[in-house]
Amino acid sequence: MGLLKLLKTEKIKGKIRLYFICGLRLLKDYNEKHQLVTELTKTLTTGQALLIHQVVKMKQDKNEKERKYVSLFNQYAELLSKQLVKEQGKEKVFQIYQNHSIKELNILSEKLIKNGVEFIVLATKEENKLIISQNGNLAIHCGKMVKELAGKLTGKGGGNENKAQCSFPNGQTLEQFFLYLKNTF
């Protein structure tokens, strides 16, 4: 049999279940993990002992960059919302974007509401998603509207009275729903 490695244990009905590998499987497992660690140390240009530290540092750097990005996008969304209000007015704003995520459109939607817009429809072709928002003064239930109307175009989604989002299988159905909303409201 040769080498044996205990992977984990579980308590089941008062007994202990052992998970292990041994023999050639263990040797294959060790070789795969050794190759992985070797590739990681080359890629991250660090030693084996500092590998975990390097990954933790990379994760912290990524989180910091994300925080900075969100802060910058909030500033951009504020400027963009003022521009949209100037161009389309405070009653309704309809806009399709090519390269914004639904998360970014959600931030923009909140800025538009803060700037006094009553009804908002924002879409992203990048993700084939759409968000509908209203300031709470309209007799529109955004969630019900999405459930009833988007489903007719194979869209899926939902929400509450003031905000809803939906996704579509492709850009064509997204545009159809967007144009329907724009022409209806």
In the chain, where the domains are located: 67-184
pLDDT at 1 over 70: no
Residue 151's pLDDT is what? Answer: 82
Q: How confident is the model at residue 150 (pLDDT cuts 50, 70, 90)?
A: confident
Residue 82's pLDDT is what? Answer: 95
Which residues have a Cβ under 8 Å from the Cβ of 160 and sit 6 or more positions away? 142, 143
Least confident of 1-10, 90-99, 132-141: 1-10
pLDDT at 155 over 70: yes
Residue 2's pLDDT is what? Answer: 79
Q: How far apart are CA 141 and CA 145, in angstroms?
A: 6
Mean pLDDT of the chain: 94
Half-sphere exposure of 147 (CA within 13 A, CB side): 10
* pLDDT 10s digits, 45-84: 999 999 999 999 999 999 999 999 999 999 999 999 999 9
CATH fold for the domain made of 67-184? Diaminopimelate Epimerase; Chain A, domain 1 (3.10.310)
